[in-house]
Structure 1
Amino acid sequence: MKVLILGAGITGVSSAWFLREAGFEVTVLDRQPAAALETSFANGGQISVSQSEPWANPEAPLKVLKWLWRDDAPLLFRPKVDPRQWAWGAQFLRECLPGRTARNIVQMVNLGLYSRATLQALRASTDIEYDHASRGILQIYFEQAAFEAAAEASALMREYNCVREAIPRERAVAIEPALAGLGSRLVGATWAEDDESGDAHRFTQGLAALAAQKGVEFRFNTCIRELQSACGEISGVKVRDCEGREEILKADAYLLCLGSYSPQLVAPLGLYLPIYPTKGYSATLSTEDHAGAPLVSITDEAMKIVYTRLGERIRIAGTAELNGYNTELNPVRCQALIRRYFELFPNSADPNSVQFWTGLRPSTPSNVPLVGRSRIRNLYLNTGHGTLGWTEGPGSGRAIAELMAGHKPELDFDFVGF
């Protein structure tokens, strides 16, 4: 059975690996010259099952209003004359209801745990190098009320089999000595010792290389122009190469892993996917010849920023901007990242080495990705992972491969169409 996978990010490459393992003939299409050059390129680096809490929660609407006109706000909403943006926003508000939030947490935690175990197994079997660290993740708090709320949330996460505990300042400093300089400003932290970190870009490119050795065909520099349909199913994919030549590629099944661009491709077929791009930023700096950078991955909860050590680099990433498909770097938001980092960890990296990046995270209103079968018979979905693509991508790739092979995954999850 031949499968065409549309997109070569972490979800597309993971899917390709497991589909090939299951015996499928697999071809992966991507407009970039190599794998993982868009959303999977420079994310926060966290495999953070402990942070499987959807943005859509009862407190979110007031926070969004509070941040509405701040250019450096953790969540920035840029209203546009875009019916899709407003439809997504209305669905987001519905997902803020307490019952919906609880259901979404269960889905995200279950997929996250399954995916982390999948990543660990892949690491053991392939020996891919990707600046991996199994030091856990700390979420730090500077206000007592926020810390107490985090302690309650941690207790809830433990009910869902996700280990996260609230710890006092002293223990947080013992886990990560770089926090000592914060003194009494640091109120406390939550600690998820089972979480991990690593470079998603390096991992995805390493897995793509191994998949190619196993027979997966990667067609890079290939723009996906159109899905063609006939008799209720996909009949082919119209593509164009870098020299402008067009052709129609055909397969038995098609897997959509195009992240934020997934809805645009299937809309002409009458298929609506509740995915909207949320723009994220990162800054990467060299820590070579500097002391004081954290070794443990840290989430600065007040600013929604993460600090992750990747070998002799520090990755500073965060913020979310609902601004359509705009991919321009906003200097204010870029500077906010490094300003906050050096405020907490002064002189711990080379400011002149900074490399800024921005990417579009494919977010559903619930933060639960779309994994499964669309209403078009031979079109499958593995998209909409939002900020947790690195956390959930290996597992969703494994799960969709099992579903396409006719097997039931060992995962309690609401798969689309099953």
Structure 2
Amino acid sequence: MRVAVIGAGVVGVTTAYFLAQNGHQVSVIEQRGNVSEEASLGHAGLLGAAHLTPFAAPGMPKQILSHFFKTDGAINLRPSVNVTHWRWLRSWLRECSLEGLLANKEKMQRLGRYSQQLLSELSHSHNLDFQQRSGILQLFRNVKEQKKIIAGLALLSDADLPFQQLDTAACHQLEPALNKDTSLAGGLYLPQDGNGNCVLFTKQLKLVAQQLGVEFEFLTKCEQIIPNKNGATLHLKKAEQTGQQQFDAVVLASGASSTPFLKNIGINLRIAQFQSYSNTANIKNLDDSPRLSIIDESEQIAITRMDKRIRIAGTLHLGKRKNTADERAWQKLRNVGTDWFPDAANYHTGQNWSGHHLMLSDSTPVLGRSAVKNIFVNCAHAEYGWAMATGSGKILADLISGKSPEIDLDGLTVLR
């Protein structure tokens, strides 16, 4: 089959790779000039299954409401006049129960485990090196935050995902560079999770995919998808040139840019666009830098090592924000970095980044067939696209190839 994958982020490129492995003729359509130049570019780079947690959780609405009028909150859900925002919020509030938390966390970890397995196999097969580091240390600034994760520990045990609950002293022993002056109640160590350079991985996989025959059409925007009895016709624009191409199947993997197409293909789930931020600074003192990936549970912010750089990421705003909000978000990231690793880097000279992604109210992606024949979706991974990309890509490739996916898709398809 001739298949078009719209979007060359990590999700789109992994999908194209697995499609090519299944023998399809694949074209990747990307409006940017290279792979991973949108949401894949500046996120924290966390990998693994154990750390995956839905945004909706008991106590989260109260926590966000307490920061509603603050300008420096790491999470801002102030809705605009956009009706989509209000609908998403109502649906999200319904997910903020213990039952919803456990159900959604299981779905995310199911896909995350599968992705972790495939990523390991793929890296070994093609000798990929993308600055991988093992170990995530989840930090709790107070006992209240520490107690919130207790319900999810049983899921980790059931899934055979190892973890260690640590007191304050054990956290500092495991990660000696942590600032001893910052309040810390304890932590959760996830040895099988970690992080990696998503952009580097995607560029390496792009070369492998090209060797399998995948064609990449950069600086090309898909303006319209017109289904027909033989598949779909794409209306494409490159520079000032417009044209049409016919494909047997189309995969929508274009992240936040997917929004205009979703309703047209019968995706009426509660999806909203979010803006997230990161700051990436060069390390100035190796001894004062983190060895592990860090998640500040109270602030919902991650700190990761990428070779000789430190990235702080995770600030989340509903909808698009003005420039003044951007600067407050980056300052929040710099403050958190200084809290935990004050002498590791000069965060004020770091590179600021902001990007957009889609999130459903249950935080799980939507995968598989749409209501329109031969049009498939692989989007709405929230901030976890890197951790779920290989599993999502393999699932889509198998579905298009008429194969049964290797994991249960319950709760991950349009019919959820």
TM, length-normalised to structure 1:
0.94
Q: For 1:15-26, list aligned pairs within 5 A.
A: 15-26=15-26
Q: Conserved in 1, the CA contact under 8 Å of 2:22 and 2:397?
A: yes
Number of residues of Structure 1 aligned to a counterpart in Structure 2: 414
The CA RMSD over aligned residues, in Å, is: 2.0
Partner residue, 1:168: 167
- Over residues 73-120 of structure 1, what are the superposed CA-to-partner deviations in whole Å (9 max), with x where a residue is unaligned? 121023212121122122112222333322211111100000011111
| SS of residue matched to 2:133 | coil
Q: Conserved in 1, the CA contact under 8 Å of 2:91 and 2:361?
A: yes
Q: For 1:197-212, list aligned pairs within 5 A.
A: 197-212=195-210
- Over residues 196-244 of structure 1, what are the superposed CA-to-partner deviations in whole Å (9 max), with x where a residue is unaligned? 211111111111122112210000000111111345x8531111002x1
The structural deviation recorded for 1:417 is 5.9
Aligned counterpart for 2:183 among listed residues 154, 162, 185: 185
Partner residue, 1:28: 28
Q: Conserved in 2, the CA contact under 8 Å of 1:53 and 1:108?
A: yes
Partner residue, 1:369: 365
- Over residues 233-259 of structure 1, what are the superposed CA-to-partner deviations in whole Å (9 max), with x where a residue is unaligned? 8531111002x1101111100001011
Partner residue, 2:299: 303
Identity %: 29
Partner residue, 2:157: 158
Q: For 1:120-269, list aligned pairs within 5 A.
A: 120-134=120-134, 136-179=135-178, 181-182=179-180, 185-230=183-228, 235-242=232-239, 244-268=240-264
Partner residue, 1:50: 50
Q: Distance in 2 between matches of 1:417 and 1:346?
A: 45
Q: Conserved in 2, the CA contact under 8 Å of 1:291 and 1:347?
A: no
The structural deviation recorded for 1:125 is 1.1
| SS of residue matched to 2:202 | helix
TM, length-normalised to structure 2:
0.94
Q: Distance in 2 between matches of 1:224 and 1:148?
A: 47
| SS of residue matched to 1:78 | coil
Q: Distance in 2 between matches of 1:202 and 1:334?
A: 24
Q: For 1:296-335, list aligned pairs within 5 A.
A: 296-324=292-320, 330-335=326-331
Q: Conserved in 2, the CA contact under 8 Å of 1:399 and 1:409?
A: yes
Letter in structure 1 aligned against 2:158: E
The question of 1:272 aligning with 2:268 is answered yes
The structural deviation recorded for 1:139 is 0.3
In structure 2, relative to structure 1, the CA distance for the partners of 1:328 and 1:3 (3 Å cut) is farther
Partner residue, 2:346: 350
Letter in structure 2 aligned against 1:66: S
Q: Distance in 1 between matches of 2:241 and 2:78?
A: 37
Q: Conserved in 2, the CA contact under 8 Å of 1:31 and 1:223?
A: yes
- List alignment gaps of at least 5 residues for structure 2: none
The structural deviation recorded for 1:328 is 8.3
Letter in structure 2 aligned against 1:241: K
Q: Distance in 2 between matches of 1:287 and 1:195?
A: 23
In structure 2, relative to structure 1, the CA distance for the partners of 1:42 and 1:240 (3 Å cut) is same
The question of 1:416 aligning with 2:413 is answered yes
Q: Distance in 1 between matches of 2:94 and 2:260?
A: 23
Q: Conserved in 1, the CA contact under 8 Å of 2:368 and 2:399?
A: yes
- List alignment gaps of at least 5 residues for structure 1: none
In structure 2, relative to structure 1, the CA distance for the partners of 1:366 and 1:352 (3 Å cut) is closer
Between stretches 354-363 and 94-103, larger displacement belongs to 94-103
- Over residues 148-167 of structure 1, what are the superposed CA-to-partner deviations in whole Å (9 max), with x where a residue is unaligned? 33344323432343323311
Letter in structure 2 aligned against 1:239: L
Letter in structure 2 aligned against 1:275: I
